[in-house]
A and B are shown apart, each in its own frame.
Chain A
Amino acid sequence: MARPPVLEDFPVDHGPTDNARGTRNAGEHLVLDVLKHRHRELLDAWVSGQESAPGFQRSTANNDDLVRQSSEILGALSVAVEADGLATTGAGYLELRRLLADLSGAQARQGYSPSQTATVIFSLKDALLRVLRGEEGGDDAVEGGLYEVNRMIDALGLVTFDSYVQSREQVIRSQHTELLELSTPVVKLWDGVLALPLVGTLDSQRTQMVMENLLASIVEHEASIAILDITGVPTVDTLVAQHLLKTVAATRLMGADCIISGIRPQIAQTIVSLGVELGEVTTKPSMAAALQVALQRLGHTVQRADSSR
């Protein structure tokens, strides 16, 4: 069995740029040969390598998918090596890169771990190395092939990792915007009464969003009373209070009144001990109490239907 190849064994001048011009070295030839003619064997070795990886979920559908996907990637790899040699930056690798990026992107979105995603491509290295070792064609050629395969797969591994991280970041970004939008719904409670249940901490970015949403809804519904419900706001410090007061002031400038509701006893204590001046803002312990005040101001009275008869 050949000793593991080391860097010094290979001359530096067999740069990948030469490959496309037909000056393939022996190792590269061997790799291309293996990719073209031992497809079935490679595929089996690769698939079983992926299946034996920790955390693999075995199911028939899964297995079919895996075989189809692996075969597709192997095919693309074979095409790429034929076109561009083992220089993974070449144009021939575009299709393969796209496949790998799709694969790792999908895995990132489905919640696979980074190592599970990396295993896919690195188990191909195992399979390729195993098949290559069994090849005839002189020790030099085999060694050269082993080295080239190592380099190529490592480069492809980086591609998968990059796209994995990219997809993850995209997921996080879209979740962030979704959260911003989800967390600031403006609800119409009555003709002219809007409610804004605030959930989560109020930072300046969210306050801005809340304010814009609320003011736009006030115009849209011609509302004259807005109820800011802070039941879902875990803590109120001076900054949060300042943001609340800004929202109240802007609402007032628009010509509507603001009622702050959902003030828990603990939060009331914090507000007082912080010395936050709520001024003329109407505050109520619950949304129900706030709605009652709102209806009263609008001149409505609420009573039981049976008592009116």
Chain B
Amino acid sequence: MERIPVLKMGELLMVTIQVDMHDRLARTLLEDLTEAISAHGIHGVLIDISALDVVDSFIGRTLSTIASTAQVLGAETVVTGMQPAVAITLVELGLSMPGIRTALNAERGMAALRAALGGRSERADGSGSGHDA
């Protein structure tokens, strides 16, 4: 079965969505991700959606749910690389993901994640804020 890979990098999880999302794929990702977070004691999750250029209401909601669920499980979540068209669609759908971190690209997202985890993780080097170029 087709899956979106969830990569573990130390105490961070990284998910990059590189294919067209369809409904079942989105549900599977939600399950895999929540499973991985609770199994490995993950503190931070980075979801890169820069390759996603079309969303419908279901995918939009699932994305929002994935981010919120990760947040609820105690992992700092950052969604990166959202395309303008996707951002507009999500806002029009009323899914503006309050409380979820966002970043322009994966690099900045990672920096933001490190900064956010700097306080509670010994290994994080706290390399600047998410807005530093």
Q: Residues of A with Cβ closer than 8 Å to B?
A: 191-192, 208, 211-212, 215-216, 218-219, 222-225, 246, 249-257, 297-299
Contacts and interface: CB of A to CB of B under 8 A. Distances in A.
B82 A255 contact: yes
Given A222-B104, A253-B96, A299 B129 contact: yes
A298 B91 contact: no
Interface string B77-116: 0011111101110111000110000111100110000000
Nearest to A208: B88
Nearest to A221: B104
B56 to A, nearest CB: 16
Contact of B104 (A212, A218, A299): A218
Interface of B: 79-84, 86-88, 90-92, 96-97, 102-105, 108-109, 129-133
Nearest to A225: B131
Nearest to B96: A249
A211 B88 contact: yes
B131 A250 contact: no
Contact of B91 (A224, A225, A246): A246
A203 to B, nearest CB: 15
Contacts of B90: 250, 253
A254 B84 CA distance: 7
Contacts of B129: 297, 299
A216 B84 contact: yes
B97 A224 contact: no
B131 A254 contact: no
B132 A255 contact: no
Contact of B87 (A191, A224, A254): A254
A221 to B, nearest CB: 10
B84 A252 contact: no
B14 to A, nearest CB: 16
A215 B88 contact: yes
Given A212-B84, A246-B91, A250-B91, A255 B102 contact: yes
Nearest to B104: A255
Contact of B131 (A219, A253, A297): A297
A252 B105 CA distance: 13
15 contacts: A211-B88, A212-B84, A219-B104, A222-B104, A222-B105, A249-B96, A250-B96, A253-B87, A253-B91, A253-B96, A253-B102, A255-B81, A255-B104, A255-B109, A299-B129
